[in-house]
Chains A and B, each alone.
Chain A
């Protein structure tokens, strides 16, 4: 065998070639356009200020609806993802069942959240109901995967010890897997809720309730000062929820021996 080309250098060169090629193809290296872009951005940001504080009474109920969509959707998705993760765990079920469960979860995960929004707006009509269902399915795609991976990471000795008592797999799940992964489950659930605030905002774009509806409306009607107000509000809410959630998660996942 001849001398091998260093793998690391090879990967760097390939990534560099691909990057430059895609930059050229996508017009990113077209300098004449950049001047235009900066000029437009400057105009846009001038029009964003000052934010219109007087529309807060309209936006507050809307963002409250978004928070509720995120909350309800996360809880619903959590309830759906538990059984799917249970069925997807190799320590509990055979290859056939886990493959089907994991395939379903994978299929759900490939659909972007906004597409779920559209699907449910068609199914149940405009409004937050569609948003909740969309967020719920989106949640299943992620939580179920994180959960079955957590279930499988449970210490093999604990599984063996509990299984050797002659219990069935529901009992094994209830007494070994669930308590051993409980902190992970809750901490990931909080993270998902945090993340779903953003997903719920997007839901409004397609008329599935919440503040996203206003966001899109302001863009289309060129009301950039209204838009600025909505963005500030979303920013504050997301920061607040992130902070609270982070605090709780840090407490839950503190190691204990």
Chain B
């Protein structure tokens, strides 16, 4: 194991993820990103919800909380407001973030609280047996959609941007080095950063969609991803079924913890002033 992984992982490996699971690749990308960022391990908070991907908090040697289904962002918001020094990362699966925690997700985006939300999108509810999720692409098969899903999928990038997130990016596990860089950039960004990490689930997604081999799933990602720069030159027809990777959006807005600190300081000053007047 590379030294960087040894530093950030607890010694309870191998993990429970299936052979060829994309979650492991995201976890190694996160470890390398943390190494590049150089935060002390005691200052990093990793919060996760429920699902395959959310097992990550059990394997990483940081301050970790494994919370309720869909509520990872709510727990993380509480922790961050109490301890603004914590560099907060929230790991969620696609179902956890977009379905069960959909409301928490959009409202966390709206508040613009300084944390990095990593949504590992494997297009399926892997842990419960492969039901289709809000991010399963239209037409793809799942155990609950044996003839192909007729639902339209969320575009998580547009959803996050529309809800008010100030940094939105998408990476994938084939381009693992780029994913690392996106995580570094997202963490350095002041405000709510969303990184969608498109991952592979060979067991619950691949087997039903004629790509059962983990390596073939990675090659499928390689062949179906285009960068933001390439996508700008392509027509909508060419972009059908393509995954656009890279940094999509970045802006600046008032950060929630700072605003709360300002409000508290203001009110404290007001109270002290009122107290002084009463004494006179």
- The answer on A and B forming one complex is no
Interface residues of B (CB under 8 A from A): none
Instruction: Mark A residues whose CB is within 8 Å of B.
Output: none
